[in-house]
Amino acid sequence: MNPDPAIVSSGLTRSFGDLVAVDGVSLAIPRGRIYGFLGPNGSGKSTTIRMLCGLLKPTAGSVRVLGFDMPRDAERLRERIGYMTQTFSFYRDLTVAENLEFIADIYGLGRRHKRTAIEASLDRYSLRGHLRQRAGTLSGGEKQRLALAGVTLHDPELLLLDEPTSAVDPQSRRDFWDSLFDLAARGATILVSTHFMDEAERCHRLAILHRGRLVAEGTPAELADGIDATVLDVATDEPHEARSALAAAGYVRAVAQLGSRLHVMVDPDLPDPAGRLTRELRSASLAAEVRRTSANLEDVFVAATGFRRSGEDQ
């Protein structure tokens, strides 16, 4: 496999008027892997993806996709990528079969190639039963399978998926991710944006975007290990009160409630953090069991985005 990264960007920036949607993002996305963009709405995920497939021109910075300079070589790149838009962009008034045939023709697949590609994807994405159904009447999960089938018909080296699972039930999401792993196993590079933590966790590598900036990057494990905080698990009968009591403490960076438990992130320099939290709670006459735990991706996300925000406030 080609050892060069699929995508290399440096200082990639895009502004719309005064709004800087993407701010100096530098990335190297390896081939044959699933790479995630994690971030809330408005964090610049879609804008970045659109710059990568040549739909938007960067305001500053440069990006090479599969060795092509964007947006200059956008036309030459198009045959080698597949882009799944955030909203369903196939023709609702055409049937599943008609949509697939149309897109195969647009990608210039020959007659025989077209037939085998469509047959294979009908089975792979369980669309055979919906062949004569208009795309507009498909369920969310079916639409998404049709979209994935459509953008992979021409066997792209690189798939760009913009929040593909935002309108889909959990079972469909699982199936969808299985399909992505299949595609990656066959050598495709996949870039997927999401705001779901469980999806981000499944990616080989991950970039966390916040307000247009790249705030963290690495494998999920690296990100969890590298978190700039000590994470503690607090079990208590009065989580709500405990939460208020802890949030007031200066060394506590973030508190998240998970049912009757709390995930608390504190200053990494704090000595004996568990003892400190226990005393803090006891002084508020709250009984609790405190123990150290490893960070999950949500903690990483909060650490990468939330701390920065409180830092800006100071």
What are the residues binding another protein (CB under 8 A)? 50, 53-57, 71, 74-75, 78-79, 81, 83, 85, 87-94, 98, 101-103, 105-108, 150
Closer residue to another protein in complex, CB, 46/236: 46
Two tokens, residue 162: 């913009």
Closer residue to another protein in complex, CB, 53/254: 53
Q: How far is the CB of 118 from another protein (least distance, A)?
A: 14
Closer residue to another protein in complex, CB, 10/89: 89
Q: How far is the CB of 76 from another protein (least distance, A)?
A: 9
Q: How far is the CB of 256 from another protein (least distance, A)?
A: 36
CA distance 256 to 248: 14
Strand partners, 127: none
Strand partners, 231: 265
Q: How far is the CB of 146 from another protein (least distance, A)?
A: 12
Q: Both ends of the chain: CA-CA distance in Å? A: 48
CA distance 194 to 19: 22
Q: What are phi and psi of 227, to 5 degrees?
A: -65, 140
Closer residue to another protein in complex, CB, 14/263: 14
Closer residue to another protein in complex, CB, 59/126: 59
CA distance 242 to 285: 10
Q: How far is the CB of 126 from another protein (least distance, A)?
A: 22
Q: How far is the CB of 263 from another protein (least distance, A)?
A: 39
Q: Report which of 129, 87, 86, 84 is spatially closest to residue 103, judged by C-alpha positions.
A: 84
Closer residue to another protein in complex, CB, 83/301: 83
Give 108: exposed, middle or buried? Use CB within 10 Å, 0-12, 13-18, 19+. Answer: exposed
State the alpha helices, DSSP H only, in the chain: 45-52, 74-77, 96-106, 111-124, 140-152, 170-185, 197-202, 220-225, 239-247, 273-283, 297-313
Closer residue to another protein in complex, CB, 49/224: 49
Task: Please tell me the number of Cα atoms within 13 Å of 201 on its side-chain side.
Answer: 11
Q: How far is the CB of 74 from another protein (least distance, A)?
A: 7
